């Protein structure tokens, strides 16, 4: 069995315009002081991390890794969540998602997608140079707008969407295979890969590609009222990244899973700081240890009530206290009588 690595922190929600949150070095010093030992780094903000430079230069990667090591930190994964979203965008969402892309490709879906594909290819190479095992991203979505089956979906519509999604991602997955890095899709509403059924459908379209894996975030499963613990039993062999994020769901007489277009504070399902919601993290950490999860436990902080810096401060200890240092022997080894085939045959009367 493997002991999970951590605590790690996803920096996307903490990056800002003021020190120490405006540079990677500043964020690293702040996170290290809170007790984090790993950072998941977003790659859509060049002032924090220059993806082009990382893919092209061993020296740049060495400098970043060295700076972090001086503070007792490692990179857990790079993230291309925003770029991955742009691999597949239904035209109804063009205006909303254009903001994820640089100005020169906005208003041009084909150019925007080409930019996003190149970003993923760069991320594969940067991850290889940094010696990382996994990468975090979103799948994008062509079928999400047709989630509810009314009006009735034409036969074959969903399958065509997933076939196209597979065609778009297959060359990227192949590049990650060449780099020796797992590509981990966060299972997330708004993405075509938002539950186990959709991930399994996608896996079929990419012919079970070995690099098509999962970023497990139980908060998104709880808010869909899924069995987030059973999900680990079903998909543990594909879980290669893990966001520690809490949530709560309290159905009301006037709103449920869909949320009624309400703000987060008023929705029945809300994200919360770890320990403030309903997710059973003790069981999650136990199952991941049981199944030899090889990666990091990374805090992704989102909460509609608590201040982010308080959430980050509490999150390091929360993760550290939940990591199970796995045993190197059975608890009843003291009573072992050894391995003796002949004795075993005598005991069996053979």
pLDDT(336) > 90? no
Percent of the chain residues past pLDDT 90, beyond the cut: 95
- Per-residue pLDDT averaged across 213-231, rounded? 98
For residue 318, the model assigns a pLDDT of: 98
For residue 102, the model assigns a pLDDT of: 97
Beta strands in the chain (DSSP E): 5-10, 38-42, 74-80, 134-137, 182-186, 212-216, 239-244, 246-249, 269-272, 296-299
Q: Are 142 and 88 in contact (CB under 8 A)?
A: yes
Distance CA 285, CA 242 (A): 10
- Per-residue pLDDT averaged across 128-156, rounded? 97
H helix and E strand count, the chain: 13, 10
pLDDT(229) > 90? yes
DSSP 263-309: -GGGSSEEEE-TTSSS--HHHHHHHHHHTT--SEEEE----SSS-HH
Task: Report the DSSP pairing between strands 246-249 and 269-272.
Answer: antiparallel
Q: What CATH number was assigned to the domain covering residues 5-347?
A: 3.20.20.150
pLDDT(59) > 80? yes
Q: What are phi and psi of 325, to 5 degrees?
A: -75, 110
For residue 335, the model assigns a pLDDT of: 66
DSSP helix/strand/coil, 32: helix
Burial 224-256 (b: 16+ CB within 10 A, else e): eebebeebbeebbebbbbbbbbbbbbeeeeebe
Structure pTM?
0.96
pLDDT tens digits, 138-151: 999 999 999 999 99
For residue 328, the model assigns a pLDDT of: 83
């Amino acid at each position: 069995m493997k002991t999970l690595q951590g605590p790690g922190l996803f920096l996307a929600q903490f990056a800002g315009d003021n020190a120490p949150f405006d540079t990677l070095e500043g964020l690293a010093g702040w996170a290290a002081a809170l007790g984090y030992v790993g950072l998941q780094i977003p790659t859509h903000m060049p002032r924090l991390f220059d993806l082009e430079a990382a893919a092209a230069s061993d020296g740049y990667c060495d400098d970043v890794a060295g700076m972090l090591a001086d503070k007792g930190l490692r990179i857990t994964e790079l993230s291309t969540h925003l770029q991955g979203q742009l691999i597949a965008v239904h035209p109804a969402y063009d205006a909303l998602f254009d903001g994820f892309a640089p100005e020169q490709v906005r208003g041009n879906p084909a150019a925007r997608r080409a930019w996003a594909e190149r970003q993923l290819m760069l991320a594969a190479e940067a991850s290889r140079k940094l010696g990382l095992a996994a990468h975090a991203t979103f799948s994008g979505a062509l079928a999400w707008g047709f989630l509810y089956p009314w009006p009735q979906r034409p036969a074959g519509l969903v399958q065509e969407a997933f076939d196209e999604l597979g065609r778009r991602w297959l060359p990227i997955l192949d590049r990650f295979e060449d780099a020796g890095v797992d590509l981990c899709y966060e299972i997330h509403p708004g993405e075509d890969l938002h539950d186990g059924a959709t991930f399994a459908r996608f896996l079929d379209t990419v012919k079970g590609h070995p690099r098509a894996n999962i970023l497990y975030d139980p908060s998104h499963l709880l808010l869909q009222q899924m069995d987030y613990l059973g999900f680990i039993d079903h998909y543990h062999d594909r879980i290669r990244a893990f966001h520690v994020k809490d949530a709560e769901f309290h159905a009301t007489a006037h709103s449920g899973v869909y949320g009624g277009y309400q703000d987060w504070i008023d929705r029945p399902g809300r994200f919360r700081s770890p320990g403030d919601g309903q997710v059973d993290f003790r069981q999650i950490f136990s199952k991941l240890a049981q199944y030899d999860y090889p990666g990091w436990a990374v805090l992704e902080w989102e909460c509609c009530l608590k201040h982010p810096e308080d959430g980050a401060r509490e999150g390091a200890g929360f993760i550290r206290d939940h990591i199970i240092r796995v045993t190197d022997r059975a608890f009843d080894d003291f009573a072992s009588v050894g391995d003796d085939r002949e004795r075993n045959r005598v005991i069996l009367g053979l």
